[in-house]
A and B are shown apart, each in its own frame.
Chain A
Amino acid sequence: MTCSDVERVLPELLDGAPDGEFQTAFETHVKSCPACSDLVSDLKVIASEARQLAATEEPAPRVWVRIAAELRAEGLIREPESAPKSAPTRPILVPTSPRRRWSAWWLAPVAAALLAAGSYVVSHKPAPQVAKQQAPGTPAASPAPAPPAVAQTPAVAPASVPNPAPQQLAQKSATPTAIVGLTAAPAAEPEPSEEDQQFLSVVSTRAPSMRATYESQLQAVNADIREAQAYLDRNPGDADARQHLMDAYQQKALLYQIALDRIQ
């Protein structure tokens, strides 16, 4: 057997079943030919080292956040029945590290709750520190949809968004003269939720010149949320509408985060 022959049969013999016809000649040649011996040895090392590469990389925490949000949006996550007393075990969750501290500390969990709102209920989960797990080179303040403060405190989002009668929708305040609604009669702006009132109160105290801006933006995103929610209520199977509702919550979370970055 020549070196060329070795090359030709290598694909079959290297990690396949021994082939009686060529096996002996192959082994004899390899033993006596340093170049072919090196080749065979190198290819085996490459193959064995490659196996070590499986499962070595870790995805960013935002991947789970997105999966969970989508599962909730699709109704695949359902609240469990009250835990039976006889069940001794509960699933353990991923170990986490302390959340970042902000002087307007309550904005962080509200921003997180908003992001997952409508699809993600959390109880007693300490927060993962996403910032440390971001890829090198990416800025710490990553934009939505993966904010740092995911899953920090119980979500309040469904209750935090005013729920008007489904027929009265979407008073737009971002474009003051534009009134968008699915019925002919525009609705009065609902009362801000408690979280939104607290938010505006803090803004008034710490950045009074920005209050009007934040308030108008808050009204706009809340209107988008109401509009999307109302449409989804009437069309529960519409996946795109569900995604737009998620996006609207993410916009609100973005608003809170931008404020959070400013008000410290």
Chain B
Amino acid sequence: MESLQQTTVVTLVLATCLASAAFAETKKEYRFTVGPNANVSVDTQYGAISVKPGSGNQVIVTATLKSDKVEVDQRQNGNRVEVASHLLQGADQQTGQVDYEVLIPPDATLNLRSSTGPLTAERLQGDLSLEGTDAVVNVRDVTSGHVHVRTMRGPITLTDVRNGHVELASISGDVHLKSVTGPLVQASSGSGKIFYDGDFGSGGDYKFTTHTGDIEALVPANVSADFSAHSVLGRVQHDFPLQQPQHSRFSVEAGRSFFGTVGKAASEVVLRSFSGKIRLKQR
């Protein structure tokens, strides 16, 4: 049963005259009071969504509507807050755009969706799910949560994501990972590149897969991991002296695969591509 609980709507109307068309840009603010482990969803067909941690137990959503051809629907059901853009007749990518700025409790679960984006989430500790078609996705300074991102073409960038369970998938977007560590870090892209800059943490499972995109990992000399890399049709190369076990079912095909251990093999790193290049570079 839906109900609007403890919602305060503050509407600020800003009229902006444009040279070529008289669009009335409108700003609206919504506030929701939630308990611990809240669940917040923001969905817009067109527009940016930026999420940061707020203080206390409030979810504060500031929506900037680009025209009167789009509305914002919002509802709260207990600890679940849902905000979504709703296109009206005749709306297009410009007139249907709504940009959101959102403040949430740091431990809230977050779901964002936008076709155009960008999508940004930073300094959070809850589980994040971000989906964009062409949206640029940026996740920064996140600890201990699940981070799930899927895009069609939008590039995905994760920076300073620690102790996370990370699953990223893009059809043709590039994936950039900088200082991303955790028990599980998986990234896949069909034709996009995957670039990792970090030390693969300690005790995690890392798997990067592409079809045609290149994979590059830039790691320090004191990295500690079991590496295995294979490209069916592409070339592979590495800068490390890899220690190989005596018996292994992984066969080395010169130039197409490598495997072995650096340091104490705290983490496992699997790099796979169908025809992309794979490079393991030492910083």
Contacts and interface: CB of A to CB of B under 8 A. Distances in A.
Does a CB–CB distance below 8 Å link A and B in the complex? yes
Interface of A: 137-144, 172, 174-175, 180, 209-210, 213-214, 217, 220-221, 224, 227-228, 231, 238, 240-241, 243-244, 247-248, 250-251, 254-255, 257-258, 261-262
Given A213-B134, A258-B131, 16 more contacts: A172-B191, A174-B191, A209-B93, A213-B133, A217-B152, A217-B171, A221-B171, A224-B190, A224-B191, A231-B274, A238-B232, A240-B230, A240-B272, A244-B274, A251-B171, A255-B171
Nearest to B126: A137
B152 A255 contact: yes
A185 to B, nearest CB: 18
| In the complex, the 4 A-B pairs of residues with the closest C-beta atoms, listed nearest first | A139-B129, A244-B274, A174-B191, A143-B150
A193 B220 CA distance: 47
Interface stretch (B70-78, B108-116, B239-247): B108-116
Contact of A227 (B129, B168, B230, B274): B274
B153 interface: yes
B124 interface: no
B277 interface: no
A139 B212 contact: no
- Size bracket of the B interface: 35 or more
Interface string B82-100: 0000000000110000000
Contacts of A248: 190, 211, 274
A240 B232 contact: yes
B188 interface: yes
B172 interface: yes
Interface in B165-213: 167-169, 171-172, 188, 190-191, 209, 211-212
Contacts of B274: 224, 227-228, 231, 241, 244, 247-248
Chain A interface, DSSP helix/strand/loop, else mixed: helix
Nearest to A225: B211
A36 B268 CA distance: 46
Given A224-B211, A255-B171, A137 B113 contact: no
B131 A261 contact: yes
Contacts of A209: 92-93
Nearest to B188: A247
Contacts of B33: none
Given A174-B172, A240-B230, A137 B212 contact: no
A110 B133 CA distance: 19
A243 B272 contact: yes
Contacts of B230: 240
A180 B148 CA distance: 31
Contacts of A243: 272
Interface in B243-283: 272, 274-275
Given A221-B190, A248-B211, A258-B152, A137 B109 contact: yes
B61 interface: no
Contacts of B233: 231
B146 interface: yes
Contacts of A262: 45, 115, 133
A132 to B, nearest CB: 15
A238 B230 CA distance: 12
Given A174-B190, A262-B45, A138 B171 contact: no
14 contacts: A137-B109, A138-B127, A138-B148, A141-B131, A142-B148, A143-B169, A180-B212, A213-B153, A224-B274, A247-B188, A254-B150, A257-B150, A258-B131, A261-B131
Nearest to A208: B92
B183 to A, nearest CB: 14
Contact of B191 (A175, A240, A244): A175
Interface string B218-246: 00000000000010110000000000000
Nearest to B45: A262
B172 A180 contact: no
B190 A231 contact: no
B215 interface: no
A42 to B, nearest CB: 33
B149 interface: yes
A140 B127 CA distance: 11
A251 B169 CA distance: 8
Q: Which of B128, B190, B230 has the most CB of A within 10 A?
A: B190
A172 B272 contact: no
A231 B232 contact: yes
A148 B148 CA distance: 15
Contact of B150 (A210, A224, A258): A258
Contacts of B191: 172, 174-175, 220, 224
Contacts of A240: 230, 232, 272
